[in-house]
Structure 1
Amino acid sequence: MERDHRFPVTDEPAAADLSELDDRINDYNTGRTGIRDARYLSIMLRSDDGELYAGLHGHSWGGCCEIKLLWIADEHRGKGLGSQLLRSAEVEAIRRGCRLILLATHSFQAPGFYERHGFSPIATVEGYPAEHAEIFMTKRL
């Protein structure tokens, strides 16, 4: 199948384009629901030289908090940072009035970690990626 050049495909989108797309979907969602409290929720941990070694990113909206990314550099794992990041996000989510927190993790990532922190699996997509699964989880706050 030949590529349609009217639809430029890239694997390196500009940060400004992603931000604009995010703003546009937020505007649409607000218009459809009347809920206007969408906000990013991010925690970035950096060394003294500015190197990112752990972080969590997501957003809150409409009484829910979604964690999109949680990452810790290999040399900092096993020291409780993941638990601290997750707890900090939960505290902030509650402060924002959220009653539910949700996330997705892969079977080779951290489903057990999230279960130990009170998350329950609600759906699994087998074969994403191949030979693995994506697991959707929630926790009531």
Structure 2
Amino acid sequence: MTHTPDTPDTKAPTPGIGTLSVGDGDEELDKRLDAELTAFNTKATGIPVTELTVRITDTDGELLGGLSGWNWGRCGGIEMLWVREDARGRGVGARLIAAAEEEARARGCEQMIVSSFTFQAPPFYAGLGYRETGRIEGLPGGHADVYFVKEL
């Protein structure tokens, strides 16, 4: 591979900087990056980011579904939503979303945002009043990443 001045050689050491490493996943790095970016964003805006989680368990205490997200100022966001396969189609997802929206309103949020791949749940979010605001086609493969917003 030929490197031009605009294309850095990632394998070459950078004097006085340190060592570059690439890997498949690093939970410790993910936690550190989240903490650093959250601190930076809070300092830049004066508005703290707060985590938001919702869970539903069955009668044995096993997880039926869960939602994780955040609120930042007047916006709430859904990062992940999952419902156990045997509980799908029984309103679990809708209950998780409703509880997250209720909590977001209580925290002063005026809107919720979420993205979902076309093979996941765009019709589900649309059915709950979320409006598509954009999409990235071909991600991954022949699918799309769809972005939604809902006014609370």
Q: TM-score, normalised by structure 2?
A: 0.83
C-alpha change, 1:108 and 1:34, in structure 2 (3 Å) is same
Structure 2: which 5+ residue stretches go unaligned? Answer: 2-8, 14-18
Give the equivalent residue in structure 2 for 1:98.
109
Are 2:52 and 2:70, in contact at CA under 8 Å, matched by a contact in 1?
A: yes
Give the equivalent residue in structure 1 for 2:34.
22
Aligned residues: 139
Letter in 2 for 1:41: L
Secondary structure in 1 matching 2:39: helix
Kindly provide the CA deviation profile for residues 57-109 of structure 1, in whole angstroms up to 9, marking residues without a partner as x: 11101110010100111111011000000000000000000001000001111
Q: TM-score, normalised by structure 1?
A: 0.89
Give the equivalent residue in structure 2 for 1:42.
53
Whole-angstrom distance in 2 between the partners of 1:85 and 1:79: 12
Aligned CA RMSD, in angstroms, stands at 2.0
Task: Map 1:19-98 to 2 at 5 A.
Answer: 19-36=31-48, 38-47=49-58, 51-98=62-109
Are 2:56 and 2:92, in contact at CA under 8 Å, matched by a contact in 1?
A: no
Greater Rg over alpha carbons, structure: 2
Letter in 2 for 1:25: L
Give the equivalent residue in structure 2 for 1:133.
144
Structure 1: which 5+ residue stretches go unaligned? Answer: none
Give the equivalent residue in structure 1 for 2:123.
112
Secondary structure in 1 matching 2:68: strand
Letter in 2 for 1:42: T
- Percentage identity across aligned positions? 36
